[in-house]
Amino acid sequence: MSTEVRVPQLPESVADATLVAWHKKAGDPVTRDENLADLETDKVVLELPAPVTGVLKTLKKEPGATVGSGELLAIIDEAAAAAAAVAPAKKPAAAPAKPAAARPAPVRKEDPAGKLSPAARRLVEENRLAAADISGTGRDGRISKGDVTQHLDSTRPAPGAGGTRVDRRVPMSRLRARIAERLVQAQKTQALLTTFNEIDMQALSAIRARYKESFEQRHAVRLGFMSFFVKACIEALRRFPVVNASVEGSDIVYHEYFDIGVAVSTERGLIVPILRDVERMGFAELEKGIAGFAERARNGTITLDDLTGGTFSITNGGVFGSLLSTPIVNAPQSAILGMHRIQPRPVAVAGQVEVRPMMYVALSYDHRIIDGRDAVQFLVVVKEVLEDPARLLLQV
C-alpha cells in the first residue's frame, strides 16, 4: 500500500512554501511522525512529518522547489516496511555458533548534518560546506546559522590578501524577502510619521530590583521591563482606541481587543509573535508568554498562528544598544512603539540636576487615521504610567 506525502494546508496569508531540504532519501525507512523535510514559508520553517511508517519510495520535488498547499512531495510504501519486518522470520535458524571473544560494541557516529538548523542547512548547501567541519555551539552540538557564518568568516581570506577581491552572492531567504516586501509596502501605502518622548526609568528600575528575586521564585520566570511596557500600552490604547485600529479600504476598523506583537530577533530575521488578549494577563503571564516566544523562535518551533494577526506592536532595539530609532509599522496595524537603550543622563528634577536612567521611546504611526495630537498624548500616557507605576494598579 502506498501513501502520498503532501504539503500541509497553509494559512490564507501564506501562498506557498519552499522545500528547503530532505532529511531522507529514496529507499530509506521512515517511521510515523518522523520529520522528512523542512518547508520554509514567509514566516516560519515547518517540519513535514511522515504520515505512516514505511519506506520512502520516491521523492517528487527537489530541494529549492516552490510548493503549494496539497502538492505531492513524496510517496511512502507501507508494504515494503511490512515485508522487511516479515522477511527475517522466514530465514532458517542458524546453527549455534561458537562463543566468540567479546568485542566492544561499535560506536555509531552521529551524522553532523542531522544537527543543522534549517537556516544553517540552507547556508551549508549554498556554500557547499561539509557539516563535519563546523563546530556547533547549540544544545547537544546543534549547528546554528551563526556557527556556519562564523566558519565562513574564519575560512574566507582577508580583504586584499594575495591580491584577491571576492564578492559572495547568496539568495535572500523567504523570510528576509518577505520582510523586505512588507516594509517597502508599508512605506508605500501608509503615511508614516514618528513622534518621540523620553522616560525616566528610575521608579520602574527600583521596583524591578526590589521584587525580581521574589517574582522569579514565585512564578519561575524573570521579571523584565517588557511586561510593564505592554501594560502601559494597554492603558494608552484604551484612552486612544484609534491607535489600536487599522485601515481596510475606506473604512477604519476599531479593534475592541488587544493583541500585542512583540518583536523577536532570530537567526533567520525579525519576527513578531502575537500575545492574545493581553488585557486579561497578569505580569507573570506576560513574561512567560514573551519568554516562550523567544525560546520557540530560537529553536524553530514557533507556529504560523503565533505570527498571525495583532493590533499593535512593540519592538526593543535597546537590547542591541540602539539609543534612538524610527520603527516601521507592521501593516495592517497602524502603530508601533520602539523601546531603546536605558542610559544615565543628567536631567532637571524639581529644579535640580540629577543623573537618572533615561530611555527614549518612539511611536511610529499611520498619519492617515492617527492625528499627531493622539500620537503625542498616547506617548505621554505611556511615559506617565511608567514613571509612576502605581498608576498601573489604579488605572489612572
| Per-residue confidence (pLDDT) for residue 107, from 0 to 100 | 42
Catalytic residue among 277, 371, 374, 388: 371
Q: How far is it, in rounded angstroms, from Cα 189 to Cα 168?
A: 33
Q: How far is it, in rounded angstroms, from Cα 343 to Cα 324?
A: 11
- Please give the domain boundaries of the chain with CATH numbers for all domains: 2-84+113-151 (2.40.50.100), 193-394 (3.30.559.10)
| Per-residue confidence (pLDDT) for residue 105, from 0 to 100 | 47
Q: What is the pLDDT along the chain (396 residues), one digit of tens a residue?
A: 788 888 888 766 677 888 888 888 888 888 888 888 888 877 677 788 888 888 888 888 888 888 888 888 888 888 766 555 555 555 555 555 555 555 554 444 455 555 677 667 777 777 778 788 888 877 667 787 778 877 877 776 665 555 567 777 777 777 777 778 888 888 888 999 999 999 999 999 999 999 999 999 999 999 999 999 999 999 999 999 999 999 999 999 999 999 999 998 877 777 888 999 999 999 999 999 999 988 887 777 787 788 888 999 999 999 899 999 999 998 889 999 999 999 999 999 989 999 999 999 999 999 999 999 999 999 999 999 999 988 877 766
- C-alpha cell at position 67: 510548493
- C-alpha cell at position 255: 479593534
Catalytic residue among 16, 219, 255, 367: 367
Q: How far is it, in rounded angstroms, from Cα 299 to Cα 331?
A: 26
| Per-residue confidence (pLDDT) for residue 235, from 0 to 100 | 94
- Enumerate the H helices of 195-242 as residue ranges: 202-219, 226-239
Is there a catalytic annotation at residue 28? no
Q: What angle do CA 138, 292, 258 make, to 5 degrees?
A: 145
* Cβ partners under 8 Å of residue 303, min gap 6: 44
Q: How far is it, in rounded angstroms, from Cα 19 to Cα 238?
A: 43
- Alpha-carbon torsion, ordered 16, 19, 20, 25, to 10 deg: 170
Q: How far is it, in rounded angstroms, from Cα 272 to Cα 175?
A: 12
DSSP for 77-125, please give it: EHHHHHHHHHHHHHSPPPPPPPPPPP-PPPPPPPPGGGGB-HHHHHHHH
Is there a catalytic annotation at residue 277? no
State if pTM tops 0.85: no
